[in-house]
Chains A and B, each alone.
Chain A
Amino acid sequence: MATCEFLPNALCSFPAIGDQYIRETRKVIDDGFKGIVREYGFVIDAVTQPLQVFLNSFERLFTNSPWIVVLIAMMAIVYAGSRSIRITVGTALAMCAIGLLGLWNDAMITLAITTVATLIAIIIGIPIGILMARSDRIQGTINPVLDVMQTLPSFVYLIPVVVIFGIGKVPGLIAVVIYAVPPMIRLTNLGIRLVDKEVLEAADAFGSSSSQKLWNVQMPLALPTIMAGINQTIMMSLAMVVVASMVGVGGLGKNTLQAIANQFFTYGFMNGFALVAIAIIFDRTSQAYGKRLQKHSEVVHG
């Protein structure tokens, strides 16, 4: 570049720290990290062991049951949630199409990990959301963490997960949960904070304790918002299942990854379609359920 002739070199090309230092630093951090992991391997195992059992039993339940049982159970759940024949029939058709394409087993594996990830995200997310709603200080502490979690590209936090937990289904599950939990936390917090102040005042005036207030007033009134959070969490775990296939999660995600690597256009498309179909089933069912929960708030009189 012409301007570089007049400028000192330091202002022209950015003066990076020498490779030597970077290498040193990297080595120290990496070794320290690995050392800790090796040192506390038993702790990590103890933590991941129940997850492993939980996930495996779900996977076995889904893959070992005859397809017709799984299909009927799914239709029953979808109908119980949505009370809509249309959504139920749509579910049956979509699942049959997945089965005909030979993706039934993979779809079951994906379904299992998504279900487990969603359950864990709900179990973790709702209490944290409640804590955040109770205290502005906790909200102030957790919010930036959630911001980082949501802005960090999903590939990036596979790295610490892999370093700490290694490769496999459970590290994949952990990555999915981390990715999917922020909307659960945020929307629980928001839902509780948006509860009508007048109704809360009434609860106080009748002498509610704070747990009575939580279970009689705040949680029921926040439920529609919490349901929206659950819906978001399901959608995000489905999306993350594909990325997590890079660290060893099986199912439709793995197929998609293979298709990308090998340029199998049709195969990739089929798996993609199966994922979309499952996403739509989850989404429609949980939304219809959420809407049904709000039936009492329809205003008949003006």
Chain B
Amino acid sequence: MASHGIEIKGLYKIFGPRGRDYVDAVKAGLSKADLNEKHGHVLGLKNIDISMPAGGITVVMGLSGSGKSTLIRHINRLIEPTYGEVVYDGLDVCAMKESELREFRRHRTAMVFQKFALLPHRTVIENTVYGLDIQGVPRSESTKRGQYWIERVGLNGFENHYPNHLSGGMQQRVGLARALTNDADILLMDEAYSALDPLIRVDMQTVLLDIQAELKKTVVFITHDLDEALRLGDKIAILRDGEVIQQGTGQEIVLSPADDYITAFVKEVNRGRVIRAGTVMRPLEGPTDGLRLSSAMMLEAAAKEMCEQGQNRALVVDDAGVPVGILDLQTIVSAMVTPAATEHQQIAAE
């Protein structure tokens, strides 16, 4: 399946009866607080520009009230934008007519919700085929497809249970199976795992990563958890007060946070799982034999590999297997413990 990227261009959302009238004022610099106080309108999103890569997971991260759930609802237009474009496969979602929008939602998108939003009167299998029911696929066909995804998310044997009879983690598996059965290019996950216990959450992240490695959908994942964002995201956008304050790969955000807000955010991160060997390696010198590690390897994994092999020096190789640098335990440990600010200066100095 050929996926397409999603381009969000200059998107504004102002909540209130006359939101449209204030777009120009906001563009000219009217602040969120002033808009609320003087005009009684709430600024939801301000000048959002994000390009979400095709076949990758884009994580939108922010605390509550940052506008992240509002943003994801613009992609399938559950919320009407005030101004701006959301382009998918050459089509502006914001300009679609109602019937086009319905077709777009039926065939191009699937969504997983924070509070599961399953139909309580339908069994697991009936919930799973819900999207196909809407498309008008006959049950004989849809049940087969639903059954496959029920097995993939590990709900074998629960087909005829009702959602309320399942635990939260299992209910969200149903939510995921329902979205995947739809076989849409875009998978929207709105804080899908935020209501789950930490262990189950990690488990579900693994399920998503496994399935994604195979399907290569364009996934938009909303979370307030930086660890989750770093684990899942090919690209991360951080939102605050309706504005994107930084976007890039996890490594870019951890190594060079855009401001104090993000610096505070990334302080507690396990850097060994974010920074890659290629980023901190030293220039190539000395012998070119011994342990070889991929430059895309995370530092933690690299350190583990080196310890297991009893080496404290390894050769870093690129995708083609050509040595590009060397890594020793000393470098790894210092990269893993150095606070972001000093690391940033070091990289700048180099």
- Residue A20 is within 8 A (CB to CB) of chain B in the complex: no
- Residue B102 is within 8 A (CB to CB) of chain A in the complex: yes
Q: In the complex the two chains form, what is the Cα distance from A122 to B104 in whole Å? A: 37
The distance from the CB of B245 to the nearest CB of chain A, in whole angstroms, is: 28
Q: In the complex the two chains form, what is the Cα distance from A220 to B162 in whole Å? A: 14
Minimum CB distance partner of B168 in chain A: A301
Cβ–Cβ contact A298 & B164, under 8 A: yes
Cβ–Cβ contact A204 & B105, under 8 A: yes
Cβ–Cβ contact A301 & B165, under 8 A: yes
Q: In the complex the two chains form, what is the Cα distance from A206 to B106 in whole Å? A: 5
Partner of B115, one of A198, A217, A220: A198
Residues of chain B lying within 8 A (CB to CB) of residue A212:
134
Cβ–Cβ contact B111 & A199, under 8 A: no
Cβ–Cβ contact B130 & A206, under 8 A: yes
Q: Which of B96-124 contact A (CB under 8 A)?
A: 102-107, 109-111, 113, 115, 117-121
- Residue A216 is within 8 A (CB to CB) of chain B in the complex: yes
Residues of chain A lying within 8 A (CB to CB) of residue B119:
199, 216-217, 220-221
Minimum CB distance partner of B135 in chain A: A207
- Residue A300 is within 8 A (CB to CB) of chain B in the complex: yes
Q: Which of B290-339 contact A (CB under 8 A)?
A: none
Q: When A198-B115, A206-B110, A207-B103 are in contact, do A301 and B167 touch as well, CB less than 8 Å? A: yes
Residues of chain A lying within 8 A (CB to CB) of residue B78:
201, 204-205
Q: Which of A212-234 contact B (CB under 8 A)?
A: 212, 216-217, 220-221, 223
The distance from the CB of B145 to the nearest CB of chain A, in whole angstroms, is: 15
Partner of B117, one of A202, A220, A296, A300: A202
Partner of A205, one of B109, B115, B121, B133: B109
Q: In the complex the two chains form, what is the Cα distance from A297 to B123 in whole Å? A: 11
- Residue A145 is within 8 A (CB to CB) of chain B in the complex: no
Q: In the complex the two chains form, what is the Cα distance from A204 to B130 in whole Å? A: 12
User: Which of B121, B165, B188 has its CB near the most chain A CB atoms (within 10 A)?
Assistant: B121
The distance from the CB of B218 to the nearest CB of chain A, in whole angstroms, is: 16
Q: In the complex the two chains form, what is the Cα distance from A179 to B164 in whole Å? A: 38
Residues of chain B lying within 8 A (CB to CB) of residue A206:
105-106, 110-111, 130-131, 134, 182
Q: In the complex the two chains form, what is the Cα distance from A201 to B113 in whole Å? A: 9
- Residue A16 is within 8 A (CB to CB) of chain B in the complex: no
Cβ–Cβ contact B105 & A296, under 8 A: no
Cβ–Cβ contact A202 & B121, under 8 A: no
- Residue B166 is within 8 A (CB to CB) of chain A in the complex: yes
The distance from the CB of A192 to the nearest CB of chain B, in whole angstroms, is: 14
| Contact-residue size bin, chain A (C-beta under 8 Å from the other chain) | 20 to 34
Cβ–Cβ contact B121 & A220, under 8 A: yes
Q: When A212-B134, A298-B164, A300-B164 are in contact, do A221 and B120 touch as well, CB less than 8 Å? A: yes
- Residue A258 is within 8 A (CB to CB) of chain B in the complex: no
Q: In the complex the two chains form, what is the Cα distance from A220 to B188 in whole Å? A: 26
Partner of A209, one of B102, B130, B166, B188: B102
- Residue A63 is within 8 A (CB to CB) of chain B in the complex: no
Q: When A296-B162, A296-B164 are in contact, do A198 and B113 touch as well, CB less than 8 Å? A: yes
Q: In the complex the two chains form, what is the Cα distance from A300 to B166 in whole Å? A: 7
- Residue B66 is within 8 A (CB to CB) of chain A in the complex: no
Residues of chain A lying within 8 A (CB to CB) of residue B120:
199, 221, 296-297
Residues of chain B lying within 8 A (CB to CB) of residue A209:
102
Q: In the complex the two chains form, what is the Cα distance from A212 to B134 in whole Å? A: 7
Q: When A206-B131, A217-B119 are in contact, do A299 and B102 touch as well, CB less than 8 Å? A: no
Q: When A296-B162, A300-B165 are in contact, do A202 and B105 touch as well, CB less than 8 Å? A: no
The distance from the CB of B96 to the nearest CB of chain A, in whole angstroms, is: 12
- Residue A208 is within 8 A (CB to CB) of chain B in the complex: yes
Residues of chain B lying within 8 A (CB to CB) of residue A216:
119, 130, 133-134
Cβ–Cβ contact B121 & A296, under 8 A: yes
User: Which of B106, B107, B120 has its CB near the most chain A CB atoms (within 10 A)?
Assistant: B120
Residues of chain A lying within 8 A (CB to CB) of residue B104:
207
A 114-129 to B, binary, CB cutoff 8 A, 1 in contact else 0: 0000000000000000
Cβ–Cβ contact B111 & A198, under 8 A: no
Q: In the complex the two chains form, what is the Cα distance from A209 to B101 in whole Å? A: 11
Q: In the complex the two chains form, what is the Cα distance from A199 to B164 in whole Å? A: 14
Q: Which of B170-188 contact A (CB under 8 A)?
A: 182, 188
A 146-165 to B, binary, CB cutoff 8 A, 1 in contact else 0: 00000000000000000000
A 3-40 to B, binary, CB cutoff 8 A, 1 in contact else 0: 00000000000000000000000000000000000000
- Residue B76 is within 8 A (CB to CB) of chain A in the complex: yes
B 152-174 to A, binary, CB cutoff 8 A, 1 in contact else 0: 00000000001011111000000
Minimum CB distance partner of B101 in chain A: A207
Q: In the complex the two chains form, what is the Cα distance from A167 to B103 in whole Å? A: 57
Residues of chain B lying within 8 A (CB to CB) of residue A202:
111, 113, 117-118
The contact sample of 13 A-B pairs, CB cut-off 8 A, is: A196-B117, A198-B117, A201-B113, A205-B76, A205-B188, A206-B110, A206-B182, A207-B134, A216-B119, A297-B121, A300-B165, A301-B166, A301-B168
Question: Can you add 20 more A-B contacts, CB < 8 Å, to A199-B119, A206-B182?
Answer: A198-B117, A201-B113, A201-B117, A202-B118, A205-B76, A205-B78, A205-B111, A205-B113, A206-B130, A207-B102, A207-B103, A207-B106, A207-B135, A216-B134, A220-B121, A296-B120, A297-B121, A300-B165, A301-B167, A301-B168
Question: What 9 A-B pairs have minimum CB-CB distances, sorted nearest first?
Answer: A207-B106, A207-B105, A202-B117, A296-B162, A205-B111, A198-B117, A300-B165, A206-B131, A301-B167
Seen from chain A, the residues whose Cβ lies within 8 Å of a Cβ on chain B are 196, 198-199, 201-202, 204-209, 212, 216-217, 220-221, 223, 296-301
